[in-house]
Amino acid sequence: MTSKLLTSILRNHLTKKPNLLRRQPFSTAAAEALSDPPQNHEETTSGITMKGVKIAGRPLYLDVQATSPVDPRVLDAMLPFYLSRYGNPHSRTHFYGWESDNAVEHARSQVASLINASPKEIVFTSGATESNNISIKGVMHFYKEKKKHVITLQTEHKCVLDSCRHLQQEGFDVTYLPVEKDGLVDLEKLKSAIRPDTGLVSIMAVNNEIGVVQPMEEIGKICKEFNVPFHTDAAQALGKIVIDVDKWNVSLMSLSGHKIYAPKGIGALYLRRRPRIRVEPQMNGGGQERGIRSGTLPTPLVVGMGAACEVAMKEMEYDEKRISALQQRLLNGIRSKLDGVEVNGSMESRYVGNLNLSFAYVEGESLLMGLKEVAVSSGSACTSASLEPSYVLRALGVEEDMAHTSIRFGIGRFTTEEEIDRAIHLTVHQVEKLREMSPLYEMVKEGINIKDIQWSQH
Amino acid sequence: MAAAASSPSPSQILSLARSFIRVSRQFPDYNIREYTKRRAIDAFRQNAKLSEPSSISEAFSFGKSQLDVAKRQAVVYSLYVPPLPSVMDLPNKPF
């Protein structure tokens, strides 16, 4: 009773509308203990100026494919392991180790039940990038006597493509299969690309940029027929579409934590036991995680990932229904006010939370700079540092000018209808403003076909 | 938790629903606040169709445990409020 009173008094004291420049009591103590990161922006009462852009409040978040906020239920499961249950799960001699080990094993079973696997087949890593590295390099190095060939797609994630390039430098052969205009792989091309010395087929389940879902069951059947191990990067697919490792016939699967509302810095790798797939470890050390990934497990992060998987299993149906309704709302809202809007990637075989749109006659960077109240991305976070249009869109055959102006809207569990409406309004407003200024659009409205113009060189 | 073994009365269920709505108002984060309120209301609506007393009391005790999680997290989120609120929380220009 008194503790409830205390909590409510504490909360009332702390959640009074703070003066923007005054720090709250508890965080003042924290500020004295640690220095704040250097703030290279000015805070005024009316907003923040950062990188030359002035915004009045935190932008609304529509970039769930880049990363997702940590679900409060996941944070609640993690916090005890930062406060009092801080043992090393590999310490076998005392209570702290035993309780951490219990938590890790419980999390392992939570992750396994989401993908219909056994807990013994799950190895925790530091993220999907590490899992992809272990899968591709580890499998090929293990079987390098007999198997020299890897098949993958042109639209894979950068870490898969980079690992394959590394293998090419070591002397392996890699086939980068093209995709159709809708982003899906052609199964006949896949069948004809498989050779007797093919050691791995790596195809991601849900693409992070365009959101298309590859035909996993059919690919699994082909791989089973030719007896080739099948690896998939399911970072974007976990907890969003139904994953069944037996139906898909995958031998290896990379999972990522921070895409399913778990913390960053944790991921997992699924390794099939029947028939057993062997990998050469990329991290050597004390033999933790069955020798495949040595190193102390970060108990809070592992617990967080397990809790997130359990929440995702319960919420999958509710989230999917809601997010698909929001996606329709976004698409119809934009299409009803603008023409020249193209969806990149197949509309039928797609994860509902990813909408990649190209706006004709508009430049992408200026559109993004105008959308400062909406956090979206063009291309994926890993490629947006460079100025080239994304390689995924190029592989789809999208023309250069449309590829430059693509925007990826990500809808997640916490997105609301008001945010979607606000995003529609801001996008439409910005696109109309840019098109008004565009001479190309004027010419198109007059009926001139842009492709017939002979541009003169100056 | 022994008290929750018997079937909860409609007034208890209603009071639990109202507690969720009350606790959701305490989150300073716009998205979490809206999500808590919406998810709780939808869960109560969906579970209103349950008729077996065992499943009703199971859902009720699950609801109570989730309410405890929400209360704790409301305190945690309030301890670390970012200096600027989300644009959705600001009085916006009408459009």
What is the ipTM metric for this complex?
0.91
pLDDT tens digit at each of 458 positions of chain A: 566 666 666 666 666 554 444 444 444 444 445 666 665 555 555 677 888 888 888 999 999 999 999 999 999 999 999 999 999 999 999 999 999 999 999 999 999 999 999 999 999 999 999 999 999 999 999 999 999 999 999 999 999 999 999 999 999 999 999 999 999 999 999 999 999 999 999 999 999 999 999 999 999 999 999 999 999 999 999 999 999 999 999 999 999 999 999 999 999 999 999 899 999 999 899 999 999 999 999 999 999 999 999 999 999 999 999 999 999 999 999 999 999 899 998 899 999 999 999 998 888 788 888 888 899 988 655 555 566 778 899 899 988 888 888 899 999 999 999 999 999 999 999 999 999 988 888 888 888 877 777 777 76
- Please indicate, yes or no, whether residues A240 and A345 belong to a single structural domain of this protein: no
Return all residues near A97 (Cβ < 8 A) that are at least 6 apart.
A87, A88, A89, A90, A91
Identify whether A4 is part of a domain: no
Sign of torsion, CA A59 A60 A65 A67? Answer: positive
Token pair 């978040």: residue? A61
CATH code: domain of residue A81: 3.40.640.10
Question: Which of A15, A73, A419 is opposite residue B69, by nearest beta carbon?
Answer: A73
CB contact under 8 A, B31 and A414: yes
Is A2 a member of any domain?
Answer: no
Residues A231 and A97 in one domain: yes
Question: Same domain for A282 and A379?
Answer: no
- 8 Å CB contact between A250 and A220: yes
Q: Is residue A44 part of a domain?
A: no
Please name the residue that has the structure tokens 């229904």. Answer: A321
Cβ of A73 within 8 Å of Cβ of B34? The answer is no
Last residue of a domain, one of A278, A311, A344: A311
User: Which tokens go with A109?
Assistant: 């079973």
**Do A193 and A91 share a structural domain?**
yes
Residue A21 counted as domain residue = no
A16 in a structural domain: no
H-run or E-run covering A4: helix A2-14
Q: Nearest CA to CA, how far is A368 from chain B (Å)?
A: 17
Mutation for A interface: B30, B46, B62, B77, most A CBs within 10 A: B30
Instruction: Select the residue from A15, A39, A319, A428 to test the B interface by mutation, using most B Cβ atoms within 10 A.
Output: A15
Domain boundary among A279, A311, A343: A311
- Residue A299 placed within a domain: yes
Q: Residue A18: its chain B contacts at CB < 8 A?
A: 81
Total number of domains in chain A: 2
Q: Which residue range forms the structural domain that includes residue A410?
A: 316-444
Residues A356 and A236 in one domain: no
Domain at A415, CATH number: 3.90.1150.10
Q: Rounded to an integer, what distance in angstroms lies between the CA atom of residue A174 and that of residue A172? A: 7
Note whether residue A232 is domain-resident: yes
- The reply to whether A52 falls in a domain is no
Task: Tell whether A205 and A249 lie within a shared domain.
Answer: yes
Residues A81, A100, single domain; the answer is yes
Half-sphere exposure of A96 (CA within 13 A, CB side): 11
Say yes or no: B94 contacts chain A, CB-CB below 8 A.
Answer: no
Task: Choose the final residue of a domain: A280, A311, A342.
Answer: A311
SS3 track for A261-325 = CCCCCCEEEEECCCCCCCCCCCECCCCCHHHCECCCCCHHHHHHHHHHHHHHHHHHHHHHHHHHH
User: A244 and A347 share a domain?
Assistant: no
Residues A351, A307 share a domain: no
Q: In this structure, are A354 and A302 located in the same domain?
A: no
Residues A277 and A182 in one domain: yes
| B86–A24 C-beta distance less than 8 A | no
